[in-house]
Amino acid sequence: MYSSKIVVFLVSLILVQVVWTSRVGVPVYVMLPLNTLSNGGDLTDVQLLQSQLSQLKSQTGIEGVMSDVWWGIVETQPQVYNWTGYEALFNVIQQNELKVKVTMSFHECGGNVGDDCAITLPQWVLNVGQSNPNIFYTDQQGNRDQEYLSLGVDDQPLFGGRTPIEIYSDYMASFYENFKDLIPSVIQEIQVGLGPAGEMRYPSYQSSLWTFPGIGEFQCYDKYMLANLAQAAEDAGNSDWGYAGPDDAGTYDSTPSQTGFFSQGTQDNYQSPYGQFFLNWYSGLLLEHGNKTLAEAKKVFGSSGVTVTAKVAGIHWWYLDPSHAAELAAGYKNDLGVAYYQIAQMFSWHNVSFDFTCLEMRDSEQPSNCECGPQQLVAQTLLSAESAGVKYSGENALQRYDSTAYQEIEIESSLYYLISGFSYLRLTPQLLQSPNIGTFASFVQTMSTLQGPN
Ligand SMILES: *[C@@H]1O[C@H](CO)[C@@H](O)[C@H](O)[C@H]1NC(C)=O
Ligand SMILES: *[C@@H]1O[C@H](CO)[C@@H](O)[C@H](O)[C@H]1NC(C)=O
Ligand SMILES: *[C@@H]1O[C@H](CO)[C@@H](O)[C@H](O)[C@H]1NC(C)=O
């Protein structure tokens, strides 16, 4: 009697096994240039784009492209959204039988590695900042960063009565309303920008103030974050901890050992009760910011069948230093080795995929004075996403055309399991030239035949 049930059970187990192990290949996408749309919202050069996409489609096996959808271009007046340029863009993409992943880019373009563009936050947002500069992330010297609104104002109705979380939500809802016919058939993925460069992090290493491999600085000195810190310290029964960030955490270009806070065995360092209190507070607020924004994204896109992702930055310098100083300043509390698991767990709450970068980097390519560990870092994030049960997609951090970089990406993409997608940074005229285009085409081909390790 029940032996037939057992047989059915075993057969279905085998089927699940076959389906599970037979997934082959990692689809590759190519990031479009940052200035694909002009600041006025038109396609910058439609003929050029058309010919580039047609060449990519015919000469490589890419699945699609990836594009920013800039807040500063679309919402030039509060709650007036102009999607015309993106309609034109998605048309060209569709004509070439390609798919697209989009990023809800609530950050400024310009001022980060590789930024050949200048798209600020909308002027009506900057205007609020003129009279109230505390809406921007601020460092200990008082520098304000206009790349992205401070999470300190997430729930403050300072923008014509709306809060930033409401503003992000309205923007995503308008995008969905306008493009729902293309979701998820053409628009396959929505990446939700959660910070500068579209990454869930603090702007701790702004290129105007910092040089690689400095540890960066904490960004908790706008009045809203300071008020939150004071409250948290009081709640922890230690108001003395709530006046400011650590006073001996160095400056942007310091090394860990030049500071008290990131050194071993020093008083009130990162390992002390004070240090742990501060770091839990700082990283916890970032998690909360992601959690709130992703909850809004899921309200908008949750039933559409589209994949929602969020990007985590690849802070690989000082990864091998016990303090993980650069990660701590960016909001990743990895001194105890669990930062990316906590983030992935928060993503899993919303069924959001983990997008990570620097898959092309080898430890041996890094200078010896930065305790860099990109390969260990990528490995940690892969395992964290897997333990939390969220999907993982990858990107390269720096522009590369050589097969050494591609080989490393191939290895990382199937290290523990097959990742779900890879976005190549970035479409340039050089990529389309010989021999680069051929090398890239072989890479896409190899990616399409990858299998998981078992
Ligand atoms: C929307 O943007 C386009 C540029 O892409 C412009 O030509 C058009 O006038 C704008 N529409 C409105 C209503 O502002
Ligand atoms: C999670 O998202 C994927 C798309 O990435 C979707 O196919 C799946 O149904 C979602 N799962 C749940 C439980 O909502
Ligand atoms: C995320 O938000 C939900 C409520 O929407 C809460 O239950 C959960 O604990 C939060 N997770 C984190 C990591 O903040």
Q: Are the C-beta atoms of residues 281 and 245 closer than 8 Å to each other?
A: no
Instruction: Name the burial class of residue 303, with classes exposed (0-12), middle (13-18) and buried (19+) by CB atoms within 10 angstroms of its CB.
Output: exposed
Q: What is the pLDDT of residue 110?
A: 86
Cis peptide, bond prior to residue 429, ω within 30 of zero: no
Candidates 416, 361, 359; CA nearest to 385 is 416
Ligand 1: list residues with CB < 6 Å: 40-42, 82, 84-85
Q: 33 alpha carbon to ligand 1 midpoint, in Å?
A: 21
Distance CA 390, CA 399 (A): 27
Nearest ligand, CA of residue 342?
3
Q: What is the pLDDT of residue 160?
A: 97
CATH number of the domain located at residue range(s) 27-448 in this protein: 3.20.20.80
The minimum-distance atom of ligand 2 relative to the CA of 353 is 5
User: 41, 85 in Cβ contact below 8 A?
Assistant: yes
Q: Locate tokens 């970068």: which residue?
A: 357
Do 79 and 45 form a contact (C-beta atoms < 8 A)? no
The 8 Å CB, 24+ separation contacts for 427-435 are 427/30, 427/31, 427/32, 427/33, 427/52, 427/56, 427/65, 428/33, 428/399, 430/401, 431/30, 431/401, 432/52, 432/55, 432/56
**114 CA distance to ligand 1 middle (Å):** 28
Residues enclosing ligand 2, CB less than 6 A?
A: 307, 351
| Number of C-beta neighbours around residue 174 at 10 A | 17
Q: How much is the pLDDT for 117? A: 87
Count CB-CB contacts under 10 A for residue 272: 14
In this prediction, residue 453 carries a pLDDT of 81
Which atom of ligand 3 is nearest to 295's Cα? 5
- Encode the chain (454 residues) as per-residue pLDDT tens digits: 445 554 444 445 444 444 455 689 999 999 999 999 999 999 999 999 999 999 999 999 999 999 999 999 999 999 999 999 999 999 999 999 999 999 999 999 987 767 778 999 999 999 999 999 999 999 999 999 999 999 999 999 999 999 999 999 999 999 999 999 999 999 999 999 999 999 999 999 999 999 999 999 999 999 999 999 999 999 999 999 999 999 999 999 999 999 999 999 999 999 999 999 999 999 999 999 999 999 999 999 999 999 999 999 999 999 999 999 999 999 999 999 999 999 999 999 999 999 999 999 999 999 999 999 999 999 999 999 999 999 999 999 999 999 999 999 999 999 999 999 999 999 999 999 999 999 999 999 999 999 988 6
The Å distance, Cα 291 to ligand 3 centre, comes to 6
Closest ligand 1 atom number to CA of residue 37: 5
pLDDT of 16: 47
Which distant-in-sequence residues (6+ apart) come within 8 Å of 20 by Cβ? none
Closest CA to 155 of 167, 146, 145: 167
Cα–Cα distances in Å, from 383 out to 100, 130, 148, 287, 328? 27, 44, 30, 19, 20
Find the 345 Cα to ligand 3 centroid distance in Å: 10
Q: Is 291 in the pocket of ligand 3 (CB under 6 A)?
A: yes
Amino acid residing at 342: Q
Residue owning the nearest CA to atom 12 of ligand 2? 351
CA nearest neighbour of 278 among 324, 313, 232, 237: 232
